[in-house]
Each structure stands twice: as C-alpha cells, then as structure tokens.
A and B are shown apart, each in its own frame.
Chain A
Amino acid sequence: MSKRAAITGIGCVSPLGYGLSETVAALRTGRDGIRAVDLFSTAAFRAKTAGLLPPGLDERAAAVTPDAVKWPRSARMLILAVHEALAARPDFVPDTVIAATTSGGMDFGEMFYRNWPATMNSRHARSFVRRYVPHQPALDVLGHFGFHPPVRVVSNACASGTNALGLGARLVRTGRAQRVLVVGFDAMAEMVFAGFDALQASTPEMCRPFDRGRSGLALGEAAAAFLIEADASEPLAILTGYGCANDNFHLTKPEPGGAGPRLSMQRALGDAGRSAAEIDYINAHGTGTPFNDASEAAAIREVCPNAPVSSTKGLTGHALGAAGAIEAVFCILAMREGFLPPNINLRDPEPGLNLVANQAREVRPQTVLSNSFGFGGSNATIVLEAA
C-alpha cells in the first residue's frame, strides 16, 4: 500500500439528528433516538420501537432537490449525507463510488408487492420497481450531483458499511483511485423489522449492548458519506487498516468463542501496523443480542483487553448496512471533538471489558477501531487514525 487514505469530508443522518453538529451533541450527552415506530403498524410484532430519524426528512431532502419526493426513504436520507460531505470539498469528483446497503429501496419494493396489480396501475408500478433495486438510491443521488462514476454496491449484511470503507480505502491506498466516495444507507422497512422480530433478535424492551441482562437489538436507520482522497492535505482522519473474516459457523449465529471477530480485528491491526496497546477506543458492533455481544466481548478481551469500548447502538439502533458507515462517522467525531461516545442503558456490564458506561468520556482518542459483523458470518474491522 503506497498511498494514504485520507478522509476529507463526512456527512450523516441518523436517529441522533441531521448532520454532524446534531450528531455530536447527541453522542456527547447520550441522548438516544429510539422511539415508537410510526412508519407502519407494529401491532403484530413483539418489538415496537426502533431508532428512527427525527421528523423533517422529506422537507430537508426536497430542499436539496425536488426530485427527492419520488425517491425511496433511503435515497432521501442518502442525499442529505452526501450533500453535507461535499460541502467540505465542493470540487470533489469521485473516480468511483463504493456503496453499502442491505435493503436499498425496500419500502418501494414492499409498496409494489402489496399493491400491484390490485390497487396500483402498471405505470406507477414501474416507477416503484425501478427504484426498489439496491443500487438505484445511489445512482439517483449521484445523478443529482452530476456524477457518473462506476458504483460498486456492497451487501455483506450488517458488515456492509465497514466493508465499503475498507474497499474504498484499498482503492486509494493501492493507487487504483485518487478520489472515492463511500456511502452507507439503509432505511427502516417493515419486511426487515418483521424479519428480526420473527427471529426474536429484536428486543421488546430496551437495547442494552454489553449488559448481562440484554435481550436483543433495536433496529435503526442511517445514511453516511465519506470523501476519501489519496494523500490529501488537512484530512479529518486517515483510514489505516482493514481486516475481514468469515466464520463459516452458522448463517445467523456467531461462533461463540469470537473466532471471526478476533481474526477480523487482528487483520485490521496488522494492516494498519498497529498494536492492540495503541488502540484508544473501540466502537463495537455490540447489537445487544445475547450471542453477538458474547462473541464480540470474547474477541475484544483477547485482542484489545484494555481499550475503552462502547457500542453506540443503544443510541441509534442497528442501521444494518449503514451501521459500519455511521459508526465510522462517530469514531471520526470522537477523535476530532475529543470524547468517547457512551454505551448507554448499562445496568450490569459484561465483565472484562473497559466499557464507556452510560456517559461519554472526555478523552481525545488518536487511533480507533470499529467493528461490524453480519449474517452469513461476515466480520469486518477498520482502523481510523487522527490526522
């Protein structure tokens, strides 16, 4: 790897707010964005809450482009994130785009499947079908900004966002690209909510990552964007390490000993040329499910036993394909603003971890590690460093 993958612009929307300022304020104070789901009926489900964007998405997206009213929710979210990231570098034109999503324009797919042909005519059905496909939100948003580069869409379940960042940085570090736009986006959709609820992976009470009494995850939604450039001056952060592993254990259940996460973290550290002792903060995948957190905790205890750890999913819910991307934004904000985001809702912490329990810590980390794991045994880790 001959070049430095410099992150020169970031933007985000999440249950913590619209844009970086609202996000920092919520992270610092530990204000969560979990609320009752009002996008569809939850009457048939055990879980009733999720991390949802604050009101105002449609108006904000339409202010960027009136076309946004025709787009799925995820594209409306994504355009805000990309718009904010580009504000820092108005002359940025990507050579390529790496996008992460698990469900693309799922709300449009559901609309089509529910209503056509009974109550939806073919002309309307066509527009829903065209925008349902996972890469279309990225294409719509890029078209708005006049960008026509190749778009690679990573869909590695809940590890997608971290994989996309790793792949994007690799393109820059190896000299294959000078400027890469990496985005992650996933919006709340009934099908996905029903899926996690049916598996009883969602909690009917409160998401408590790394609490011994944890009972499951809260779903979330988010979009995040990153401008990555080769050897740029004045970057926000540098992506120095990427590792991934596949644990071949079970389609949904992680290997209990944490073999996959351990390998992924070790590979990322090796790629960054950093030792565990140099890691100042770990943003854990920490979904709040009994199995995930046990497996990840085992890996962290073994690889980075002393590093401060928090999962921010108690604040945001689990944004699936966008989780790794939004959590990388949190890591960059932590390094730039000088705090460690809290792991909220802890009552009885998992032992053997240096958890940032319930309140943010006023420390300025220099080197951070972010984990994302997903169905299919996907494990991905990145190392980010202060510029």
Chain B
Amino acid sequence: MIEPCVLSIGCHLPIGTTPEDVLTNVRSGKCPGVQEITCSDGRHIPVFQANPPDEILRHPRLRRSSRISHLACAAAKYAVDHAPDWNPARSAIVFAASNGAVIYTRQFFDGVVREGTGSPLFFPETVYNAPASHVAALVGIDGEVVTLVSDATAAIDALATATEILESPDLDTCLVVAAEEVDPVTAAAYRLWGLIRDGADGHSEATLSEGAVAMVLGRDGGPRLRRLDTGHSCTAGHSLRRGLDQVVKNLTGGHRPDVVVCSAAGARSDATEALVLDERLRGVPRLTPNRMVGQAFAVSALTQVLVAAQVILQNEASSALVPVVGWNGRVGGLVLTADGAHA
C-alpha cells in the first residue's frame, strides 16, 4: 500500500495565501483581522474572512459561482501551478467540506422558496460537489472527482481517499482540496451549538473562519504521509477521549513525533485533545495553528497538515503528528514525515 507524498501546497486563508506565510504567521501568533457578521437574531458574530483573488473572480467559468468555489479554485490553482510535472490526464480530485455553499443556499431559499422569485441559477451552485466541479474544469481533470462532507475529519477522509485512488497505476497525482465559506446562517447555527465565539460569550473562543487549502499528492518527492487513521465516530457511549487515544496510539505506535500540530481551535474538545496528548506524548512540542486560523472545519484540519508539511520542509522536524477532532464526535489523524524518515 502506498504512502503518498505532499508534492505541493496552495492555500487561500485569512492568515495567509502561501504556505510559507501561514507558517510564519502561526509561529508569530499573528491572527487575521476580525470582522463581524450579523445573524438573524441580531447578534454580531466575529469571523475571519478571506477575499478570493481577482483572477479567479474574473474567470469565465467562475463569474457566477459561489465564494467557496472561488476560494477552492484559488488554492487549487496555486497548488497545481507549484506541482512538479503536473499532468491533469493522470490526476484526480478529492474535495472536502463541512458546510458547502451556504451563502447561495440561503439566497436561493429566500428568493425561490420563501418569496417565489429569485434566480434558479443559484441552485446548482448549492450542491456540495459544485466547488469540486469548478476546480476540475479549471485544472482540466476528467477522471475521478470525489466530494466528501463531514466535520473537520472530512480532510482526513479526503487524504485517505486520495491515497486509495493513487493505488491505480493509471494515476500519478491526486489533488486534495478543502474549502469553506462564512455565512450568517452557519454563524448562528454554530453559535447555538456552542462551537464558535460569540462576542458576549466567554465560554467558547473558536472564531468562525473560511478559506481553502489544496495539496497535490504523488508517490515521491515531499513530506510523506506515513500513517493515516480515519478514526472513529465517538457517538452513543463511545467517548471522545477513548477514540482519540486510540487514534494517537495507532498513529505513533511507540515512536514519538518531533512535533504535534494540534486540532485545538478554542472548542470544548480542546481539553480532551490536550489530555490525551499529555498522557501519550508529554513533552513533545505542540503547534496550535487553528487558534490563528479559526474554526473552518475541514479547512482547519488541512491547514494542520499544511503546517506539519512546512515544518518538515523547513527541516525543523522530521516527523509530525496531526490529530483531528471534529465537532460532532469524529476523530482521526495522520503522521507526516520527511521523505525517508521513519514514522
């Protein structure tokens, strides 16, 4: 079974639009500027937002597409442009998201369902796989294109699926993309759920965020995805702590990674993650990029992988553990190593 390598990375995040900038800002603890959006109950929710680049907004295929598609395409294009020997005829796409095109969904519902007017053109853009379709058209892939939806662990699912796809001798690379957009509906929903920061609520501190991360995986030439565990669904009596402990134990297998790139973004589950890491990997340095990136679900998880890859590429570590804790009880993770290094 293959252990793919990260050949190139692209990103379009509030904290940076190159992998190098993201790591620099994570290291310096620099947060992006906070903006506010207003929910239907009148509350103002602080959020981090990313502005899609003009070249993507003006692209003929993308002029009317959603914000999430713009962000996904920006990150994907950067990753593909920086991938050595990129050949779309021998590549596939796996796209991961949690919320999808919420802005157009809300606009379609308000216009067509509630009011009986409005544009039907929003509807196809609301479908979860619309961003992947636009990415495929932009980079010219006519093969396997898969969209996966879940909490943050959708990113782990996507990397697992890409690994399986790369078992095919017909393919050399697989483009993995995660994207998310911010909208008042998701802000209201996650605030009610207690998962994101509310200006008036001191208990939860994760800031709702958006953006996209993309990476081209191939067989050789870059930080290697040495182990991957799609984990467990910690529901109905299966505790999050036990599930995450199993994942960390399975991924490390007695080896101590040089660094842990944590999932913690300010949610209640951060304490569980810290507890498991204290027990299993006390003393291993930890990075917590999602404190600066915000809660962007699958994007946050893929940002963890981005940071792990950058730390390895800059020779600051030869192995990194990335545990991912989703907001509805799913856990998973991976170990990335310098090519040739042991897990």
Contact = CB atoms under 8 A, between A and B. Distances in A.
Contacts of B231: 150
B192 A154 contact: no
A379 to B, nearest CB: 10
A54 interface: no
Contact of A375 (B127, B143, B234): B127
Contacts of A231: none
Given A155-B148, A198-B123, A149 B189 contact: no
Contact of A142 (B41, B140, B148, B233): B233
In this complex, the member of A102, A147, A376 whose beta carbon has the largest number of chain B beta carbons within 10 angstroms is A376
Interface size class of B (residues with CB under 8 A): 35 or more
Contact of B145 (A129, A146, A152, A156): A156
Contacts of B233: 139, 142-143, 147-151
B192 A136 contact: no
B136 A190 contact: no
Contacts of A232: none
A148 B108 contact: no
A196 B146 CA distance: 22
B136 A112 contact: no
B147 interface: yes
Interface stretch (A21-29, A243-251, A335-343): A243-251
A156 B146 contact: yes
A150 B129 contact: no
A378 B157 CA distance: 19
Given A167-B161, A190-B113, A113 B230 contact: no
Contact of A116 (B157, B188, B243): B188
Interface stretch (A80-88, A168-176, A301-309): A168-176
DSSP majority for the B interface? mixed
A194 B125 contact: no
Query: Quick one: which of B112, B148, B150, B167 has the most chain A CB within 10 A?
Result: B150
Given A96-B230, A155-B128, A163-B146, A117 B113 contact: no
A200 to B, nearest CB: 8
A251 B124 contact: yes
A251 B230 contact: no
Given A153-B149, A154-B147, A377-B133, A113 B127 contact: no
A133 B150 CA distance: 8
A261 interface: no
Contact of A198 (B106, B120, B136, B141): B120
Given A176-B1, A190-B113, A246-B145, A130 B129 contact: no
Interface in A169-202: 170-171, 174, 176, 190-191, 194-196, 198-200
Interface in A325-346: none
Contact of B193 (A110, A117, A129): A129
Interface residues of A, number: 64
A154 B146 contact: yes
Interface stretch (B277-285, B307-315, B326-334): B326-334
Interface string B220-256: 0000000000111111111000010000000000000
Contacts of A44: 116
Nearest to A67: B236
Contact of B125 (A102, A122, A130, A251): A251
Nearest to B115: A44
Interface string B151-185: 10110010011001001000000000000000001
B64 to A, nearest CB: 9
Contacts of B161: 152, 167
A291 to B, nearest CB: 13
Given A139-B328, A248-B136, A152 B143 contact: no
A180 to B, nearest CB: 12
Nearest to A144: B236
B234 A148 contact: yes
A178 B278 CA distance: 33
A157 B153 CA distance: 20
Contact of A246 (B98, B133, B154, B167): B133
B144 to A, nearest CB: 5
Contacts of A246: 93, 133, 136, 141-145
Nearest to B42: A117
B145 A378 contact: yes
A324 interface: no
A134 interface: yes
A248 B133 CA distance: 7
A236 interface: no
Contacts of B146: 154, 156, 163, 167
Nearest to B130: A376
A251 B120 CA distance: 13
Contact of B157 (A133, A152, A376): A152
B202 to A, nearest CB: 18
Nearest to A198: B120
B132 A195 contact: no
Contacts of A374: 127, 129
A156 B236 contact: no
Contacts of A104: 149
Nearest to B332: A150
B40 interface: yes
Contact of B328 (A112, A136, A157, A377): A136
B127 A157 contact: yes
Contacts of B236: 143-144, 146, 148
Task: Name the 7 nearest CB pairs between A and B, nearest first.
Answer: A376-B133, A143-B236, A198-B120, A150-B230, A155-B128, A195-B123, A117-B41
Interface of A: 44, 96, 102, 104, 110, 112-113, 116-117, 122, 125-126, 129-130, 132-136, 139-140, 142-144, 146-157, 163, 167, 170-171, 174, 176, 190-191, 194-196, 198-200, 244-248, 251-252, 260, 263, 374-378
